Amino acid sequence: MPEYHVTTAKIGEVLLPSNQGRACEERMPGPCAFVIFGASGDLARRKLIPALYRLGRNGMLSGNFFIIGASRSESDDASFRSMMEEAVKKYSTFDNAAWEAFSRRLFYRKLDDYGDNASLARIRDLLSEKEKEFGTEGNKIFYLATPPSAYERTIEGLTASGLSEETRGWSRVVIEKPYGRDLESALALNAFVLRNFREDQVYRIDHYLGKETVQNIMMFRFANAIFEPVWNRRYVDHVQITVAESNGVEKRAGYYEQAGILRDMFQNHILQLLALIAMEPPSVYESRLVGDERVKVLRALRHIQFDGVDGSLAMGQYVSGSVDGKVVPGYREEEGIPSGSNVPTFAAMKVFLDNWRWQGVPFYLRSGKRFPSRFSQITIQFKQVPHLMFRQTLGPEIAPNALIFKIQPDERVQLKFHTKNPGPRVCLRDVMLDFSYAQGYEGVMLEAYERVLLDCMLGDKMLFVSSEGMELSWSFITPILDLVEGRGVPGARAPDSYLYRAGTNGPVEADRFIMNDGRVWRNYG
Ligand code: NDP
Ligand code: BG6
């Protein structure tokens, strides 16, 4: 006999989820402990603790939760709490009662070194004491917020000390970027990580995937029927992705000298944006399936041909100039940067995807420091109308439609199209359909780190990078790095590299390859 369940809904009654008919999934993490290695550093202060605090303040942390900060700096619970209080005041809005409740869950232990047995034993003891007190059921997250040089010792220490053992509950490790510095080192690091943790325990962060408007790309594409039919080579002329920053290298000279723009922004953030814009719809909105579709895009990336490098790659480095009316130093004059450094702070690239949907459609990618303003935008530039029936009255061309995803700082989706100008004359005008992302929403907006930390607690890996995704993006970037850094194949010519004034949109020469294709870089203000 089938079993009949009693429901409160009458036949024919429309069941709307709560929240006025907007389809929302409720997500509340379960109990867990959160251990931050490198807790004295910039990332912990500026991003991690403020993000965890805001999650707590917004009721998005389990009541069974606590944090242990660990690093070599001299500190104790009290001084760590007061350092973090300053950080939260600086990088977040501050609420005294919320802070009081949060800070009671904050502890600190000094390490002699990251892999040091005795130090990790002290963490283990504290962890088991607090696990009992806070009822975290043995679930724990280890966040590696140290420079990469400390990753392996920390991971080894976690295994050797038994800290990461899953005797009770689960154990996860979060690894920051940079994940390696080229394909070979990334593979070696990954092999090491996977000797100590299973893939399902490893959370490789790309905080761009946690940005609200970046996640919205998927919703926008796959929850609306009207865009998908034109999302392909038949209708799209080209795609532009720009991540522009007005900042320079700030206090991260040591790191940036080792990284440069290609490792810092292209290998991760920009290729992930490309993957989201170009991916196929997965059959179900489920972490592994979405991840697989992103990976397929990276697999379809055509590697830049060395002989064609001039037409598809340009590099740049900023010299002193003015941003926001303030004179700023050039890259080589920044604190900690050698005066002869050739590390690029700007790159522009033209890439193609070898698949059915995108064959022949150029994707222009651009990122740089010290632009006049901070803006991240993706533009889908559609083709011209197939027949210009207004030719006699309006001339030979009308600007094609464009769909613009404004990712930051102004979060919007805009559609540029034409209408008739009011009045007796026959003329067109460009207008924008403009949707502000926060419009009509009064709930909590999660900042990128809040979102990825929350997902890690929930065990949802959709917004993290898989082993395969990481490997494919390094496979694409590494030959370019070899070329730029002088390890290219014999006979290959390094791409041209130009200086650009701070406060401009990169070197004018970088406009060349897009202009040679009859196009221009867009910034929809
Ligand atoms: P920091 O340079 O501030 O280092 C964090 C902490 O690690 C330091 O406070 C220090 O603590 C410890 N540490 C520093 N150098 C070493 C070393 N050579 N060996 C061992 N431990 C060291 O880094 P961030 O906080 O800026 O970044 C942490 C990680 O996050 C890095 O991998 C970085 O690339 C990544 N990241 C950072 C971002 C940011 O905005 N800061 C953004 C994106 C990624 P102690 O000496 O007390 O042990
Ligand atoms: C980081 C880079 O990953 O992203 C920084 O290391 C960059 O150089 C930053 O400034 C940009 O992130 P956001 O979220 O400010 O756009």
Which atom of ligand 2 is nearest to 243's Cα? 16
Mutation test of ligand 1: which of 43, 108, 116, 193 has the most ligand atoms closer than 8 Å to its C-beta? Answer: 43
pLDDT at 105: 97
CA-nearest residue for atom 8, ligand 2, is 264
Pocket lining: 293 vs ligand 2, CB cutoff 6 Å = no
C-alpha torsion sign, points 147, 260, 244, 338? positive
Measure the CA dihedral 355/260/156/167, to 10°: -50
Find tokens 């193609």 and name the residue: 352
Q: Which residues of the chain have pLDDT under 50?
A: 1-21
**β-strand pairing of 346-351 with 313-319:** antiparallel
> Nearest-CA neighbor of 213 among 18, 355, 460, 408?
408
- Give the Å distance between the CA of 42 and the centre of ligand 1: 7
387 is catalytic: no
Tokens representing residue 289 in the block: 């399936």
Q: How many residues does the chain have?
A: 525
Pocket lining: 447 vs ligand 2, CB cutoff 6 Å = no
pLDDT at 2: 40
What number of other Cβ atoms are within 10 A of residue 461's Cβ? 20
CA–CA gap between residue 415 and residue 155 (Å, rounded)? 47
CA-nearest residue for atom 2, ligand 2, is 264
SS3 content of the chain, % helix, strand, coil (to 5): 35, 20, 40
CA–CA gap between residue 48 and residue 449 (Å, rounded)? 7
CA–CA gap between residue 365 and residue 266 (Å, rounded)? 8
Supply φ then ψ for residue 253, to 5 degrees.
-55, -45
CA–CA gap between residue 415 and residue 97 (Å, rounded)? 44
Residue 420 is inside which H or E element, if any? strand 412-420
Pocket lining: 264 vs ligand 2, CB cutoff 6 Å = yes
Pocket lining: 71 vs ligand 1, CB cutoff 6 Å = yes
Q: Interhelix angle for 467-484 vs 183-196, to 10°?
A: 150
Ligand located closest to 451 CA: 2
> Looking at 5, 207, 238, 269, which residue is catalytic?
269
Ligand located closest to 178 CA: 1
CA–CA gap between residue 265 and residue 243 (Å, rounded)? 8
C-alpha torsion sign, points 143, 146, 147, 149? negative
- What does the DSSP assignment read for 226-280? TTGGGSSTTTEEEEEEEEE-S---TT-HHHHHHHHHIIIIIIIIIHHHHHHHHPP
Q: Are 432 and 416 in contact (CB under 8 A)?
A: yes
**Burial tier of 97 (Cβ tally within 10 Å: 0-12, 13-18, 19+):** exposed
The half-sphere exposure of 67 on its side-chain side, counting CA atoms within 13 A, is 27
CA–CA gap between residue 476 and residue 479 (Å, rounded)? 7
Query: Please, what is the end-to-end C-alpha distance for the chain in angstroms?
Result: 64
- Give the Å distance between the CA of 228 and the centre of ligand 2: 30
Q: Interhelix angle for 77-91 vs 49-57, to 10°?
A: 80
Mutation test of ligand 1: which of 36, 40, 42, 151 has the most ligand atoms closer than 8 Å to its C-beta? Answer: 42
- Give the Å distance between the CA of 10 and the centre of ligand 2: 51
Ligand located closest to 447 CA: 2
Pocket lining: 85 vs ligand 2, CB cutoff 6 Å = no
Which atom of ligand 1 is nearest to 71's Cα? 48
Q: Are 85 and 123 in contact (CB under 8 A)?
A: no
pTM of the model: 0.92
Q: Give how far Cα 461 sits from Cα of 68, 84, 482, 512, Å.
A: 23, 28, 31, 40
- Give the Å distance between the CA of 247 and the centre of ligand 2: 10
Ligand located closest to 181 CA: 1
- Give the Å distance between the CA of 36 and the centre of ligand 1: 11
- Give the Å distance between the CA of 363 and the centre of ligand 2: 21
Pocket lining: 415 vs ligand 1, CB cutoff 6 Å = no
Which atom of ligand 2 is nearest to 259's Cα? 6
